[in-house]
Amino acid sequence: MTAETGQRWTLRGTHTEYTVAVPAHGRWLELVAWGPHGVSDGPSPVAYDGPVPFLTAGDAAPIEYATDADRPFTGADLVIETSNGQRRVGFVHTDARIDADQRQLAVDFADPVTGLRATVHYRVPAGTDVVQRWVELANDGTDALRVVRAGSGGFCVPTPHGALLSHQWGQWEQEFQLSHVELGHGAFGIGSSQGVPGHLHVPWLAVRDTAEPAGPAWGIALAWTGSWEISAERDTGGLTRVRVGRQLVDGPLELAAGERLALPAATGAYSPDGLDGLARVWHTHQRLLAADRLSPRPVLYNSWEATYFAVEAQSQLALARIAAELGVETFVVDDGWFVGRDDDTAGLGDWTPDPAKFPAGFDTFIADVRALGLNFGLWVEPECVNPKSSLYAEHPDWVYSVDGRPLTPVRNQYLLDLGRPEVAEFVHSTVDGLLRRYDIDYLKWDFNRPRTEPGRSGGVGPLDLDGAHVANLHRIYERLRRDHPGVLIEACAGGGARTDLAMAARADVFWPSDNTGPLDRLAIQYGFLHANAPHLLSSWVTDAPGLFDPRPRSLAFRFVLAMAGVLGIGADIRAWTAAERAEAAGWIARYKEIRDVVTHGEVHLIGGPDQARCAVQYTAPDENQVVVLAWHTGRLDGAGLLPSRPVRLPLRGLDPTGRYSHGDRHYSGSHLVTVGLPVQWSATHDADLIVLTRG
C-alpha cells in the first residue's frame, strides 16, 4: 500500500528551513529548498524542469536518498544486492510523520520486490540551523540482502555559476589545512579507509557558488568515527549534489531477513555569511551536543614533551610543583607510566602503574599531585597492544589479523579487534578500573595507528569490522560518561585523526595535532575552528619549533595562540627562567578571565595564517565583552631593525551604536566594524590579547 504522494514538509531551524517533498510518482523524496526562512516560497532553486536525454529523470532530480534504480548513472546513495547478484532496488513511498514543532520528520519507503524498507529521518535540533539526517533499513523479506553502498544521504546545493568547495586535508603533524577547489563540472571526492576519520581528510565539506564566495554557504559533515567518504558532483544544470556516508572497507554489509541497520547521521548546515558564518553554525551545534558538559575547561599541564617516556615520580612532581605555581589546574601524566613502558616497543596492554617508577605507590603519587591543588589526569591507549606485552602473549587472537598473513606493526603496535565482545569488555573494564581505582579527573585517550589487517582470527563469513569497532567504541565512551560524569575525556589519535561529530558528542575536547610549533599550529587551529567549536580545541604552549615553518615566536605569541581554545602547557617548564615563569603566570591568569567568553562566545575568524593579519574574535553571549586574539605571521625573528606598522582588525557582529572600551581608549561599534581595531606590531611584539568592554 502506498501513502498519499505529492506531500511536502518543511523543517524549521532558528534562521533556516529545509523543505522536502514526495513527487506525484511516489518513488523518492526530493529537496525543494534549503536556506533562510522563506526560501521555500516560489519556484524551487534546485528543481530541474528540462529534459534529460540519455539519462533518467532521477539522475537530474534533487533526490534526498537515492537507490541505484533512481540514479543508475550519476551515483546512488544506496546500492542493494540480492543473493543471486541482482541490484536496482526501487522504493515506493508508504508513510510519513512530522512532529508539531516541525523539527522531526520520518518518511517511509518500501521495495515490493525484496521486502526492503527504508525510513529517512530528519531532525533540526532546537536553537540551531543544522539538519541531521539518517536512514534506518529493515529487511522484511525472506532472503538475505547485501548492502553494497551505505550512504547516509545526498545534499543538493544550487551552484548556478560553479561550485566552490572547501575541504580540509593534511597528514600527521599537518592536520586541518583549509583548501578550496572550483568545480565547474564533474566530481570531487575525499574519504578515509583507515578505520578512523584519519589525518588525510576531515569528514566535512562546504559548498558555495563561485560568484558569491562571501555569500550563502552550505556545509555537510558525517557523525562516524570509522571509514567514510564524501563526494560532490556538479551537473550541467548547475546543481551540486554531495553524497556522504560510510566507506565499506570490509565489503558489503549482510542484512539477513528480519534484521535492521541504522546508518550514520549526516548533518547539513547553512549560513548566509560564507565560511565564517558557517563555522558559527557548526559551533552552535557542537555546543548543544556537549549539553551540560559545556563549561570552561581547566588549564592543564601535560608532561609528554618534557619527559617523554622517562616518567618517574620525582621528575613528574617537580613539574607539577612549577605548574601549580603558574596557575595550572590539571596535571596530566602522559605515556610511560605503566609497566614495561620505557619506549614505544613494549607495554601497551599492560595497564598497571610501574612500581619502579612510583616506589611509594601510584596512589601516593597522585595524592602528592593533588596536594599541590591540582587535579590529576592520565594518558591511555587502550585499543592498541605491543607484541612485547603480557596481554598479547595471553591473547594473540585479539588483534586484527588475516589467517595465514603476517601482521603489520605501526608504531611497534597492533590494533585490538574492539568488535569482539570480550575485547570491548576488556577495554572498558581497563579504563573503568583505572577511574575507579585512582583519583583521576582527566583522561587522554589516544589511538596511534590505523587498521591494516581487515580480518578476525578464525572469523567466519564477511564481518563488518569497521562498524563493530565504532559501535563498541561509542558504547564504551557512553558507559564511562554515565559512570564517571566528572571525568573530562580528551580524544586523540596521533593528533587529529579522530575528529567527527559522533566524537564531538562523546568527548570533551580534541587533540588536533602532535605538532605544537607556533606557526604550524596557527594554520592547524585556523582550519580546525572552521569545523569545530573552541571548547573542543586543546592547545599547548611548548618550546617546539614547527616542522613546516620553524621560525621562532615569542612566549606571548604561543600563549595567545593556545588561548584560542582550551589552554595547556607542554614545555619543560623546569628550564624556563624566572622571567618566563612570571610571564606565563600572567598569561594564565588572563586566560582564566576570558575563557568563559572563549567557551561560549560567538566566533569570527579574521584574516588567516597566510595573511598580514590573523585574529579570532569572541563576542560574549550578552555582547558586553569582546575578546580578540591576534597574531603577526610575518618575519619577526630579526634584530628589530625594520619599522613597525599598525594593522587594523575589522571586527564583526558588534552593536554599531554601542560604545566599547579597551583600557583608556574608547571606540564606537561602527568604528570597530568599518575601520577596525588598531594593533601595533614590532619585532618583539608579535601577538595581542585585547578585551573590549561595552558600556
CA torsion angle for 273, 687, 664, 567 (degrees, to 10)? 80
Place of cell 605538532: 515
Bridge partner residues of 110 (DSSP): 92, 117
Distances (CA, A) of 220 to 71, 232, 266, 536: 21, 11, 7, 19
Torsions phi, psi for 599 (to 5 deg): -70, -45
DSSP state of 291: G
Is 448 annotated as belonging to a binding site? yes
Q: Cα(117)–Cα(27) distance, rounded to whole angstroms?
A: 13
Is 172 annotated as belonging to a binding site? yes
Q: Cα(67)–Cα(351) distance, rounded to whole angstroms?
A: 47
Q: Is 514 a catalytic residue?
A: yes
Selected catalytic residue, list 111, 514, 520, 688:
514
Is 447 annotated as belonging to a binding site? yes
* Lookup: cell for 566: 582550551
Helices (H), 601-657: none
Is the CB of residue 417 less than 8 Å from the CB of residue 456?
A: yes
Selected catalytic residue, list 446, 500, 520, 688:
446
* 514 Cβ neighbours under 8 A, 6+ residues apart: 172, 173, 494, 495
Torsions phi, psi for 220 (to 5 deg): -135, 135
Distances (CA, A) of 281 to 125, 267, 532, 608: 12, 11, 10, 19
Strands across the sheet with 8-12, in order?
A: 8-12, 16-21, 30-36
Is the CB of residue 398 less than 8 Å from the CB of residue 416?
A: yes
Is 357 annotated as belonging to a binding site? no
Is the CB of residue 210 less than 8 Å from the CB of residue 238?
A: no
Is 335 annotated as belonging to a binding site? yes
DSSP state of 457: T
Bridge partner residues of 443 (DSSP): 378, 489
Q: DSSP string covering 72-118, please?
A: TTT--SEEEEETTS------EEEEEEE-TTS-EEEEEEE-TTT-EEE
* Lookup: cell for 540: 599547548
Q: Nearest-CA neighbor of 511 among 232, 304, 263, 284?
A: 304
Torsions phi, psi for 118 (to 5 deg): -135, 135
Q: Cα(681)–Cα(493) distance, rounded to whole angstroms?
A: 36
Torsions phi, psi for 290 (to 5 deg): -70, -25
Is 472 annotated as belonging to a binding site? no
Helix, strand, coil shares of the chain, percent, nearest 5, are: 25, 35, 45
Q: Cα(173)–Cα(520) distance, rounded to whole angstroms?
A: 9
* 305 Cβ neighbours under 8 A, 6+ residues apart: 516, 540, 542, 543, 544, 570, 571, 572
Strand 239-246 relative to strand 659-662, pairing? unpaired
Q: Nearest-CA neighbor of 557 among 685, 692, 691?
A: 685
Q: Cα(219)–Cα(241) distance, rounded to whole angstroms?
A: 12
Is the CB of residue 538 less than 8 Å from the CB of residue 295?
A: no
Residue type, 349: G
Q: Nearest-CA neighbor of 125 among 276, 287, 264?
A: 287
DSSP state of 574: G
Residue type, 97: R
Three-state DSSP class for residue 652:
coil
Question: How many Cβ atoms sit within 10 Å of the Cβ of residue 655?
Answer: 16
Residue ranges at the known binding site = 172, 334-335, 411, 444-448, 492, 514
Active site residues: 446, 514
Q: Give the annotated binding-site residues for substrate.
A: 172, 334-335, 411, 444-448, 492, 514
